[in-house]
Amino acid sequence: MPTTLPKEAVSVTEFKTEPFTDFSNPENEKAMKEALKTVRAQFGRQYPLIINGERIETSDLLVSTNPSCPSQVIGKFSKANTEHAEKAMSAALTAFESWKKVAPEKRAEYLFKAAAIMRNRKFELSAWLVLEIGKNWAEADADVAESIDFCEYYGREMLRLANPAPLVPIAGEKNKLSYIPLGVGLVIPPWNFPLAILVGMTTASIVAGNTVILKPSSDTPTIAYQFIQILEEVGVPKGVVNFVPGPGASVGDYLVQHPKTRYIAFTGSKEVGLRINELAAKTQPGQIWIKRVIAEMGGKDGIVVDADADLEAASDGIVAAAFGFQGQKCSACSRAIVHKDVYDKVLEKVVEKTKKLVIGKPEEKTSFLGPVASKSAYESILNYIEIGKKEGRLMTGGKAFENEDKGFFIEPTIIADIKPEARISLEEIFGPVLAFIKADSWEHAMQIANNTEFGLTGAVYTGSRAHLDEAAADFHVGNLYLNRKCTGALVGVHPFGGFNMSGTDSKAGGPDYLMLFSQGKVVSEKI
């Protein structure tokens, strides 16, 4: 990230991350409670598709519900079919012809205005996240803050890339390297960061000059719709972003395979990401480019605790990273890999701290763990817990958390004495389940840390400078954290993306991210 901005953008301040809200402040607590009431009053509304600015309603509906109380309908959404997908493609193609010619400074200005609106509506947007997907107040607030950061950061990055790139001069020629947009992109965001990642992939697309077909997660279409309204409010032209919720198996596959789709930006599971990559790789009749796939997929992230580590700090980091947002982060710590000399002490501390976590409806300020995202996630996680009970020693949790509203709550679960090759050590669970693994030595811990097909995040707690350096060189993940937890990446501070089956190492929130949505063009003139 540049420390200074180009002359064309001298009025734009240097990027700084959005501060988190202090909910111990009574005014902020009151504002959040009011926002929750405001959002609840909007439950059950019906929402259209938005294609080229046109509201389109269908009889086939997708229903979003509150995972804390599944009988509560957040919203009903018109569901797109392949005809709507084709209409969205046509709109995006038409809009691209004019949008690509809009000055980068103007495109960046739309992002800055969107950031300002989100900043003013932070409590309301957080409330949607609390009620639609079960984030607690702090997690929801962080999601909105990251969304604001993406707008501010990518806007500034576009201003930087708009300047001519430095080239080696040669006598008798004038040479210029510039970055131009790709075309129409399909953006498929996940449900776990349904505002931040959606905003990041969408704003990177449009600020680079592309147009977008946005297919939000079926679990979180309401928060997606809120952002579409913000883009409309700041004046983004019709057709630049088209909102088409619908089934991945039909609408998603149709658009991935469409010959006019230039790229797919996807965040989600390994299985879906690999399918997208496979479908996109096959050239269709009339297709004149190789499609790009920008994918951030799964993780099986470990925190390594060395024999000389600060055990209190390590235990705090493990608990926060394992159970924040119910473990439903691709960066979550699902494996604690602990040196045998301190294994029992760390296990005891982590179990003790985990038992103190408050489970409850996330709309309550005191709740730390809310529900998991859906019935299917709930059933899958409980099944993995049963597998884990057979593979190791259950220390705490291990079952659903009973509640009168039949929400999808699961106790934070720790299973000890897991073998490195066990299923719950290798397979992504995406829930509040932590496997404790004993390492015989530092070298053994590093071997275990690298024994999965993933490579997203990891962390090491150690007092040894040599071991920190070895981890930096040999722990094969895209984001490695030393003596801190493995979650909580900040835009511009920790560019985010992983190796192997964790995706294409896209490094969202970093200085090369917009290049993935652009193509370089060199113009050479003899003088």
pLDDT in tens, 418-443: 999 999 999 999 999 999 999 999 99
Residue 22 CA to its chain's centroid (Å): 23
Taking a C-beta distance cutoff of 8 angstroms, is the pair 146, 115 a contact?
no
Tokens (6 digits) for 220: 């979180």
Query: Which pLDDT value is given to residue 145?
Result: 98
Residue 402 has pLDDT above 90, yes or no: no
341 confidence band (pLDDT: 50, 70, 90):
very high
Residues in the chain: 527
**Closest to 432 in 3D by CA, of 324, 314, 300:** 324
Query: Which pLDDT value is given to residue 8?
Result: 41
pTM metric for this prediction: 0.96
- Indicate if 57 belongs to the active site: no
Q: 178 vs 169, 181, 523, CA distance in Å?
A: 16, 10, 8
Taking a C-beta distance cutoff of 8 angstroms, is the pair 27, 113 a contact?
no
pLDDT in tens, 269-288: 999 999 999 999 999 999 99
Query: Which pLDDT value is given to residue 2?
Result: 34
Check if CATH label 3.40.605.10 holds for domain 37-297+505-526: yes
Q: 84 vs 56, 212, 259, 353, CA distance in Å?
A: 9, 14, 16, 50
Residue 3 has pLDDT above 60, yes or no: no
**CA separation for the pair 496, 208 (Å, rounded):** 19
Query: Which pLDDT value is given to residue 205?
Result: 98
Residue type, 314: A
Query: Which pLDDT value is given to residue 516?
Result: 98
Q: Residues spanned by CATH 3.40.605.10 within the chain?
A: 37-297+505-526
Residue 332 has pLDDT above 90, yes or no: yes
Look-up: residue for tokens 């009574």?
26
State the catalytic residue, choosing from 109, 296, 363, 411. 296
Identify any residues that bridge with 54 across adjacent strands, giving them in sequence order.
51
Q: Residues spanned by CATH 3.40.309.10 within the chain?
A: 301-489
Sign of CA dihedral 31, 37, 40, 42: negative
Residue type, 318: I
pLDDT in tens, 9-46: 446 899 999 999 999 999 999 999 999 999 999 999 99
CA 53-59-64 angle, 5° bins: 80
Query: Which pLDDT value is given to residue 164?
Result: 86
Residue 457 CA to its chain's centroid (Å): 13
Query: Which pLDDT value is given to residue 440?
Result: 98
Sign of CA dihedral 81, 85, 86, 87: positive
**CA separation for the pair 306, 213 (Å, rounded):** 47
DSSP sequence for 238-307? TTSEEE----IIIIIHHHHH-TTEEEEEEES-HHHHHHHHHHHHSPPTT--SPPEEEEE----EEEEE-T
pLDDT in tens, 300-320: 999 999 999 999 999 999 999
Q: 460 vs 222, 287, 307, 465, CA distance in Å?
A: 38, 46, 11, 11
pLDDT in tens, 214-237: 999 999 999 999 999 999 999 999
- Indicate if 330 belongs to the active site: yes
Look-up: residue for tokens 């997690």?
139
Residue type, 272: V
Q: Which CATH architecture has domain 301-489?
A: 3-Layer(aba) Sandwich (3.40)
If you average pLDDT over every residue of the chain, what do you get?
96
Residue 502 has pLDDT above 90, yes or no: yes
State the catalytic residue, choosing from 330, 363, 411, 486. 330
